[in-house]
Amino acid sequence: MKNTLIPIVIGFDQREAVAYHTFVQSIIENASQPVSFIPLALNNVKEYVETHNDGSNAFIYSRFLTPWLMNFNGWAIFADGDMICKSDIAELWKLRDESKAVMVVKHDYKTKARDKYLGNKNEDYPRKNWSSVILWNCAHPKHKILTPEFIAKQTGAFLHRFTWLDDTEVGELPKEWNWLTTEYPDNYQANLLHYTLGTPCFKDYKDSEMSDVWHAYHDKINQGMGV
């Protein structure tokens, strides 16, 4: 049987472009099925005009365009760009549950740091980091409202808490598929590491917790190039 192509939408911010490419490297290296990458870069999505000014990255709101980008068909994975995938992304793909509209890791924690990369404030709020990895059931009828015009008018609280859905429609993924480095204890067995306070590409986080994993994948990008 032919393997299903796994569409992966990844948040892209030019200020940490190297993080995006390092994340892609890690997925490719460990994937057992073909994948399709969609960089979520605002200059590629002319229909969406960013009206918010409270985000720490360029895709803080545009991530909710994923069902629209998929023409409200099938499933897709969204992930922030500041991650490393240490396991087969097909194993995450297998967790799809047709009874759910989205599936996320339901973090419940208080941050250890009040500031993060590039001087951004790091505040606690309900369902913090739930939307940093989303397994989207793009065909779910309730997602039809998620148009560029609609998203541009919504608050962060409305979108990041998945307020347009009933709680029963928000499925749960294992925490190992969005392991928050520094915020959580080191876990080299985790499937997906999320450098949420700052990717090791930034000098202030170069030697942060579990940065060795990130640097190992980044080094592979430069192999054979004499860098």
pLDDT, residue 4, reads 85
The torsion angle over the Cα atoms of residues 136, 201, 53 and 114, rounded to 10 degrees, is 100
Rounded to two decimals, what is the model's pTM?
A: 0.93
Provide the residue type at 169 as one letter.
E
- Residue by residue, DSSP assigns 73-140 as -SEEEEE-SSEEE-S-HHHHHTT--TT-SEEE-------S-SB-GGG-B----TTTTGGGEEEEETT-
pLDDT, residue 1, reads 43
- 3 state SS of 211: helix
pLDDT, residue 40, reads 94
For 165-201, what is each residue's pLDDT tens digit?
Answer: 999 999 999 999 999 999 999 999 999 999 999 999 9
Phi/psi of residue 219, nearest 5 degrees: -60, -30
CB distance 10 to 39 below 8 Å? yes
pLDDT, residue 42, reads 86
For 18-83, the three-class secondary structure string (H helix, E strand, C coil) is HHHHHHHHHHHHHCCCCEEEEEECHHHCCCCCCCCCCCCCCCCCHHHHHHHHCCCCCEEEEECCCE
pLDDT, residue 88, reads 98
| CA–CA separation, 77 and 6 (whole Å) | 8
Averaged pLDDT, 117-137:
82
For 24-47, what is each residue's pLDDT tens digit?
Answer: 999 999 999 999 999 999 889 889
**Model confidence at 227: pLDDT above 60:** no
Provide the residue type at 95 as one letter.
L
pLDDT, residue 224, reads 56
Q: Across the chain, what does the average pLDDT equal?
A: 92
pLDDT, residue 171, reads 98
Alpha-carbon 167 to chain mean position = 20
Q: What is the domain partition of the chain in residue ranges?
A: 6-222
Question: CATH number of the domain at 6-222, out of 3.40.50.620, 3.90.550.10, 3.40.50.2300, 3.50.50.60?
Answer: 3.90.550.10
For 44-93, what is each residue's pLDDT tens digit?
Answer: 988 988 887 766 677 899 999 999 999 999 999 999 999 999 999 999 99
